[in-house]
Amino acid sequence: MDFAKLLKPEAVKVLTSASSKKRLMHDIGDLVSNAYGLNASEVVEALIARESLGPTGVGHGVALPHARLDGLEEVIGAFVLLDKPIDFSSVDRQPVDVAFALFAPENAGVEHLKALALVARTLRDTAICTKLRANPEAGTLYTILTEDKSVQAA
């Protein structure tokens, strides 16, 4: 499992409009709809339902919203860098400016967990996050995420 299998270049975006967690969920829904052809409302609904179980802000300005969706064939992702951090009810109470959303088929077992582990480990690396935050251009962000092969899922 690596980022190139999880993420299309079209699913990477720098957001200037996200002013709240709910707005970010809608922006992610639109991004996933455009990149993968999924229904934006279903994506948003699934993200909000998952978020109601507990916040997915993991700390240090990073959030990993994720959900299972009917009709998916494989685990997919979307990455957003926010120009202004927002409150995400993160475990460390720090605002979020980096979000990687993951979506898995309803019956995905270990593949979903492997993808989540890969993303979590990668975005826990402060050097990678610093590089991402310093390069607010979608193409560059995609390259940073997909070229970093030093971290592999178990």
For Cα atoms 109, 26, 130, give the angle at the middle one, nearest 5 degrees.
75
Strands 7-15 and 62-63, by their bridges, are: unpaired
145 and 29 in contact (C-beta within 8 Å)?
no
112 is catalytic: no
Look up residue 18 and give its two tokens: 């996200």
Query: How many other β-carbons are positioned within 10 Å of the β-carbon of residue 73?
Result: 7
Question: Which of 26, 60, 66, 112 is an active site residue?
Answer: 66
What is the SS3 assignment for 135? coil
Angle of CA points 148, 63, 104, to nearest 5°: 75
Catalytic site positions: 66
